[in-house]
């Protein structure tokens, strides 16, 4: 008796529960890219940026030599100032004879460090404060939200300029990077608390929270067992979008001269020096770092939007 061979379409196979291990990760990644092509392109940009940040040179591995970058970010070649793109210098050189492509790759490391530091601070603070404000409500919620209103009423750029002028006016590059991460993280936290608070309120009104409270569960147990796990996906989505915001904020600060000083290759600093002093004579020197900022911010935003659609059950079926 002949047996019929059952065939399955790709869509049916992708509906199966995800497998564990590398095969499952690859299948989930393919499914994500198939359903969210722009999100997949954004994820590719994010991965390439992280790869460039780690392997631009060997300093993280105890090797003081460039790996991906053709030259060190501060190597100057006299007689090769303001060169056009060529086989030796893919994006040309700046007014000091430094390779622009190498400096953009090193700038990716600075942007990644600042972006990850900002979203770490903003994620932890907004999760703590937003959960407390949304779950306990009452006077605690009122006080927290009035403080948030004060922060939101002041333009973010004014807060950044004032904070850096006060705390990092004469600081060195690493100290200034610390203050940039801290101040931008606090500013981003103010805009995230409202979102986390709303998610915490919605979760606290679910029947299983009332059931846990009826069974005698303490507030601490309810918060850590039921509220926080349901709020964390919102924090992850916010963090993925805020990475682009942090990179853009650092570029704006550096463009105004309050960022990481030379010779460290921040994208905003490259825009400030090249764009203001040499834009008319050598416009492409300002285009390359500006394009790097635009692509990085676009990639993080597209990846964050797609991640939101995947993690939010209400948007899971959208395209």
CB 198 within 8 A of CB 233: no
Question: For the segment 118-129, what is each residue's pLDDT rounded down to a tens digit?
Answer: 999 999 999 999
Per-residue confidence (pLDDT) for residue 146, from 0 to 100: 92
- Residues with Cβ < 8 Å from 227, sequence gap 6 or more? 131, 134, 135, 200, 203, 204, 209
Average pLDDT over residues 210-221: 86
Token duo for residue 183? 């101040």
CA–CA gap between residue 47 and residue 41 (Å, rounded): 10
Confidence of residue 3 (pLDDT cuts 50, 70, 90): very low
Copy the structure tokens of residue 280.
């008319």
| SS3 state of residue 63 | coil
Q: CA–CA separation, 160 vs 179, rounded Å?
A: 10
User: What tens digit of pLDDT does each residue of 30-65 get?
Assistant: 887 888 888 889 889 999 999 998 898 888 888 878
Residue at token pair 């790996």: 67
Q: What mean pLDDT comes out for the span 211-234?
A: 87
Which of 184 and 171 is assigned the larger pLDDT? 184
Q: How far apart are alpha carbons 180 and 115 in whole angstroms?
A: 10
pLDDT-based confidence at residue 17 (cuts at 50, 70, 90): low
- The whole-model pTM stands at 0.81
């Amino acid at each position: 008796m002949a047996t019929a061979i059952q065939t399955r379409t790709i869509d049916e196979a992708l509906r199966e529960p995800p497998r564990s291990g590398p095969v499952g990760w690859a299948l989930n990644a393919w499914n994500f890219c198939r359903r969210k092509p722009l999100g997949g392109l954004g994820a590719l940009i994010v991965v390439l940026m992280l790869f460039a940040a780690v392997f631009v040179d060997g300093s993280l591995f105890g090797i003081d030599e460039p790996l991906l970058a053709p030259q060190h970010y501060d190597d100057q070649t006299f007689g090769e100032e303001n060169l056009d793109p060529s086989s030796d210098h893919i994006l040309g050189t700046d007014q000091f004879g430094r390779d622009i492509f190498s400096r953009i790759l090193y700038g990716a490391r600075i942007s990644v460090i600042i972006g990850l530091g900002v979203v770490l601070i903003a994620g932890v603070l907004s999760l703590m404060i937003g959960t407390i404000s949304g779950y306990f409500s009452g006077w605690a919620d009122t006080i927290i939200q009035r403080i948030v209103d004060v922060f939101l009423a002041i333009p973010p750029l004014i807060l950044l300029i004032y904070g850096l002028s006060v705390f990092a006016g004469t600081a060195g590059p690493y100290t200034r990077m610390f203050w940039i991460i801290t101040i931008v993280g606090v500013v981003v936290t103010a805009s995230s608390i409202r979102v986390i608070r709303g998610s915490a309120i919605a979760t606290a009104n679910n029947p299983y929270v009332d059931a846990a409270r009826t069974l005698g569960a303490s507030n601490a147990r309810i918060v850590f067992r039921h509220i926080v796990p349901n709020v964390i996906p919102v924090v992850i989505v916010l963090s993925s979008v805020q990475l682009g915001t942090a990179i853009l904020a650092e570029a704006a600060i550096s463009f105004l001269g309050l960022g990481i000083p030379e010779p460290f290759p921040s994208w905003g600093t490259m825009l400030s020096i090249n764009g203001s002093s040499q834009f008319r004579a050598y416009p492409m020197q300002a285009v390359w770092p500006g394009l790097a900022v635009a692509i990085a911010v676009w990639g993080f935003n597209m990846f964050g939007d797609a991640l939101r659609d995947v993690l939010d059950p209400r948007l899971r079926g959208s395209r």
